[in-house]
Chain A
Amino acid sequence: MDTTKILVVDDNPTIRKGLGVRLRASGYEVLFAGDAVAATAALVTDRPDLVILDLGLPCGDGFVVMERLSNNDRLANIPVIVLTGRELAGNRDRALEAGAAAFFQKPVEDRNLLYAIRKALDNSRGELRFDE
């Protein structure tokens, strides 16, 4: 059985490292990107099963990454979970309208994030089965 790949996009290396430890301990393969350009490259090259996306990023913010995802037929069904330090106002609704499967403000409880990941992956795989 293939390992589920999760791309963690955050410009803070300590956040990336902590999420990596937690996600690997939960059985996921973890990929990293520190800015919007690297995130776009990783999406195309590695085609992760899910993205955990910060909004405040160098070289274009998280909304730019979500727009690139939704404009690419091959990538458009990859679920995105937004995990950001930004304020709720103006960001939560915009992220959900842009297609995010879930929106969390930092710091997030591990159990809530892991639950959202499982749920988003289940929904994504269900959609794929339905489409087939």
Chain B
Amino acid sequence: MTKATRPSSELPAYLSHELRNALACIQQFGNILIDGLAGELSGEQREYIGIMLENASKIRSVLDSALDGTERPL
């Protein structure tokens, strides 16, 4: 179903599925990098990936609150 033909009642479920999958990929591979599973990182590289992960966590918290009415601690 295309975005144009999707009923508005299905929008929250669609957003939840698509955004959570995209966030899961960001978080999964960010953690793989920061844990050194793909090789050692410099301190600066770890810091920057940490910033990415911290902001991914903020987006997740907004999603939880907006789409499911729950909120996880950051």
A residues whose Cβ falls under 8 Å from a Cβ of B: 12, 14-15, 18-19, 21-22, 25, 56, 85-89, 105-108, 110
Contact = CB atoms under 8 A, between A and B. Distances in A.
Interface string B1-26: 00000000000110011111101111
Contacts of A88: 68, 70
A107 B23 contact: yes
Nearest to B23: A107
Contacts of B38: 21
Q: Name B's interface SS.
A: helix
A39 B64 CA distance: 29
Contacts of A110: 28, 31
Interface residues of B, number: 26
A106 B20 contact: yes
Given A18-B29, A107-B23, 12 more contacts: A14-B25, A15-B25, A21-B37, A25-B37, A56-B17, A85-B21, A105-B20, A105-B68, A106-B20, A106-B23, A107-B60, A110-B28
5 nearest A-B residue pairs (beta carbon): A18-B28, A85-B20, A106-B24, A107-B24, A85-B17
A40 to B, nearest CB: 22
A105 B12 CA distance: 14
